[in-house]
Structure 1
Amino acid sequence: MKKIIVACGSGVATSQTVASKLAKLLKEKNVPCEVEAVDIKSLKHHVKGADGYVSIVKTKEDYGIPVFNGIAFLTGMGQEQELEKIIKLIEG
């Protein structure tokens, strides 16, 4: 099963909110995927086993996996486009 990591500064509020929303949206579309919220400090450790990363805080680091816009899932603006990109990655 594919795995998507969602990271924010503390790994508690914002990343949990986005991870829950993303997991719900994927489930509604019958797209199996593990979605995990983590804090930005432990991101390097978690991306090793992930297929994609949903970024809430901009970072200059390249983790070698696709990065998606997490703000879209908070605001709703551009959410469908980001969701489609994630689904393409998962199903690809």
Structure 2
Amino acid sequence: MSKIKVLVACGAGIATSTVAMKKVEDLFLENHIDAELMQIKISEAASRQDDADMLISTTILPQEYRIPTVKAIAFLTGIGKDKVEAEILDIVHNLNNH
């Protein structure tokens, strides 16, 4: 299984993406997924998507991306967190089977 490169974004690249980073790190650790996480501002996502496999964002996505995206507001609210985690794991599974 190759290392998954994940962009974790929020509006400013500081506060909510830090919370999301921790949740994603924990999720990957629990599921034995080797990943490289990069914390960014959402405005950087378009220029960095070619170097990543997935984008996880705690803010509204301003455009379409070529890589799979996950809206991870649930990591902040706790509502629907299981669904977001399942979506992330599903994307990782699909990436590893291509």
Q: Which amino acid aligns with 2:81?
A: Q
Q: How does the TM-score come out when normalised to structure 1?
A: 0.87
Aligned equivalents of 2:19, 2:62: Cα separation in 1 = 23
Q: CA deviation at 1:41?
A: 2.3
2:74 to 69, 72, 77: 72
TM-score, normalisation: structure 2? 0.82
Matched ranges for 1:34-73 at <5 A: 34-73=36-75
Q: Which runs of 5+ in 2 are unaligned?
A: none
1:13 aligns with 2:15: yes
Alignment deviations for residues 9-49 of structure 1 (CA, whole Å, 9 cap, x no partner): 11111111111211112101212222221012222222221
Structure 1: segments with no counterpart, 5+ residues? none
Quick check: 1:23–1:34 contact (8 Å CA) kept in 2? no
Matches of 1:73 and 1:36, distance apart in 2: 17
The one-letter amino acid of 2:21's match is: A
Aligned-residue RMSD, C-alpha: 1.4
- Helix, strand or coil at the partner of 2:60: coil
Q: 2:91 & 2:61 partners in 1: Cα distance? A: 21
Aligned to 1:36, what secondary structure does the other structure show?
Answer: strand
